[in-house]
Amino acid sequence: MPEIIVKYDNKVIERIVTEKKRVSIGRTRDNDIVLENRGVSRKHALIEFNNNAAVIIDNESLNGTFLNNRKINEEILRDDDVITIGKYSLVYHTESTDDNNDSAHFDGTMILKTKKQRQLLENDKIEKQIISKYGGSVLLGEENTDFTEYKIDRDVITIGKAKFVHVKAKGFWISGIQAKISKENNFFVLTNLGKKGKTLVNGEPISKYNLKNGDLITVGKSTYKFVEGDNK
Amino acid sequence: MKLALISDIHGNLEALTAVLEDIENQKVDKIYCLGDVIGYGSDPCACLKLVEQNCDIKLMGNHEYVALGLISTENYNEAAKISSDWTKNQLTENDFSIISNFEMKHSWQDFLWVHASPFEPEQWHYIIAPDMAFQAFSYFDEKICFFGHSHLPQIYMEQEDNFPRMQGGHDFLPAQENRYLINVGSVGQPRDNDPRACYLIFDTEEDEVIYRRIAYDINLTQKKMSEQHIPEMLIDRLEVGR
């Protein structure tokens, strides 16, 4: 996929990898690449992709669009071309360079609406809906559980294979009460009570652990996802 | 109103002094400090004094929280543990009383200031990626939240049908209709590969965000840290800004 590296004063501020056919550039937020600064028009320019070619088109902007330091109206982009708009420069690559991953956190990387990002966003929406439905923190049944959603509405919840526990877990080698989730100082704390190594969070055995949103709790063969609500 | 926003000074007196000098020339109305005045560096007390004298708003950082004994250093790496114990030993009774008056967050008009995240400020969550910013956006109502903590100058803009856009810190004009999370960077221990001290100027009338990078005498700071036997890793990182 083509990649556009946005620089300001020669510092990389954003990397954009896109699968879109048309990428708009401008000052307002409805653009794909938003450049919020003086000298950038609301709808400044467009990059169009078709049949392996990319074309930069200036949208009659006030201060102009420059390609390799030359003012242009419409021009075909080549690898490593530099588009200048105001104080920004946009470096165009025909293929994204993955070797920059290390510095991603520093420079900022954005992938325009890829599948994975949409999925993450969708999951987050679903979790938010569940929280608002129950008005608090919830356990979601992920694997080998007899519920899909369990509201954490008391101060202590027990997990294990005994008949009287709140949350039943599967697995031969676990204790009657294998673990508990209790409210302690603003946290939901997961504590292992039974056999060692049979209570895990995100794959790691724990003895005592402050739960965070999205943590995966595994007791024996059962796995639950902890979704944090506002009832702390 | 023209504001200078400084954060994460971490006991680096040379960086703080250089930044305050630059702020003097910028003719700002007020200076806000977003926390972590102490920790890591060799001059916690002198930095606290300067912040107390010069800043109009002073926010609590996790390093102040540690010094007050409100969170343990159990999960800290060895260097951070050693330096926070050392820092704690330097502080006078008066220093502790200054710190204990720091606010957790501050809001004014459309703006919010907090050290780490508007989501549970006292849990010091990091915002260093779009998914973290996505969560944080739902925990404040103001248009712009300024924060620090990660030492990375970054700008997040809320988007309707996607995770927030993330950009490296740079001068820009926040648009009225948008919401932003803006990391002001670190004065005393930058981590964005630029060793110069970083702070931010925000002009509420011009609606302009300007990042300032200020060179200071890093060698002197490192020498003072060595003399106090502060862990080498904390000394070395200053010259590379990581």
Mean pLDDT calculated for residue range A170-181:
90
Query: What range does the domain containing B184 cover?
Result: 2-239
| A58, amino acid identity | D
Mean pLDDT calculated for residue range B110-124:
94
In angstroms, rounded to a whole number, what is the distance separating the alpha carbons of residues A193 and A221? 16
Global model pTM greater than 0.80: no
Please provide the DSSP assignment of B47-101 as one string. Answer: HHHHHHHH-SEEB--HHHHHHTTSS-STTS-HHHHHHHHHHHHH--HHHHHHHHT
Q: Is the distance from CB of A199 to CB of A218 less than 8 angstroms? A: yes
Among B124, B132, B172, the residue to mutate for chain A (most A Cβ within 10 A): B172
Please provide the DSSP assignment of B115-173 as one string. Answer: SS-SSSGGG-----SHHHHHHHHTT--SSEEEE-SS---EEEE--TTSSPEEEE---B-
Res B107 pLDDT > 70: yes
Q: What is the pLDDT of residues B180-202, one digit of tens each?
A: 999 999 999 999 999 999 999 99
Determine which of A167-181, B32-46, B102-116 has the lowest per-residue pLDDT on average. Answer: A167-181
Q: Reduced to 3 states, what is the DSSP secondary structure of residue A200?
A: strand
Record the tokens describing residue A78, joined without a space. Answer: 């080549």
> The domain spanning residue B35 has which CATH number?
3.60.21.10
Q: Does A106 touch chain B (CB under 8 A)?
A: yes
Q: How confident is the model at residue A95 (pLDDT cuts 50, 70, 90)?
A: confident
Q: What is the pLDDT of residues A182-200, one digit of tens each?
A: 988 778 999 998 888 899 9
Res A68 pLDDT > 90: yes
Q: How confident is the model at residue A133 (pLDDT cuts 50, 70, 90)?
A: confident
Q: How many CB pairs under 8 A join A and B?
A: 68
CB nearest A37 (choices: B134, B157, B171):
B171
Predicted confidence at residue A230, as pLDDT, reads: 67
Mean pLDDT calculated for residue range B108-122:
95
Q: Does B193 touch chain A (CB under 8 A)?
A: yes
Cβ <8 Å between B163 and A117:
yes
Q: Reduced to 3 states, what is the DSSP secondary structure of residue B236?
A: helix
ipTM over 0.90? The verdict is no
Q: Does A13 touch chain B (CB under 8 A)?
A: yes
Within 8 A of B128 by CB-CB distance, chain A residues are: 105
In angstroms, rounded to a whole number, what is the distance separating the alpha carbons of residues A216 and A11? 38
Structural domain total, chain B = 1
**A176-195: b (≥16 Cβ within 10 Å) or e:** ebbbbbebeeeebebebebe
Q: Reduced to 3 states, what is the DSSP secondary structure of residue B36?
A: coil
Nearest by Cα to B16 from B40, B29, B82, B27? B40
Predicted confidence at residue A41, as pLDDT, reads: 96
Nearest by Cα to B198 from B3, B8, B49, B1? B8
Q: Reduced to 3 states, what is the DSSP secondary structure of residue A199?
A: strand
Within 8 A of B173 by CB-CB distance, chain A residues are: 36-38
Q: What is the pLDDT of residues A198-219, one digit of tens each?
A: 999 988 899 999 998 889 999 9
Q: Does A115 touch chain B (CB under 8 A)?
A: no
> Residue A34's closest chain B neighbor by CA?
B165
The partner residues of A93 in beta bridges, in order of sequence, read A3
Q: Does A177 touch chain B (CB under 8 A)?
A: no
In angstroms, rounded to a whole number, what is the distance separating the alpha carbons of residues B114 and B148? 8
What does the angle CA A31 – CA A37 – CA A42 come to, to the nearest 5 degrees?
40
Q: What is the pLDDT of residues A140-175, one digit of tens each?
A: 988 888 888 888 888 889 999 888 889 999 988 888
Share of chain A above pLDDT 90, in %: 49
Within 8 A of B130 by CB-CB distance, chain A residues are: 110
Q: Does A132 touch chain B (CB under 8 A)?
A: no
> Residue A111's closest chain B neighbor by CA?
B165
Cβ <8 Å between B165 and A124:
no
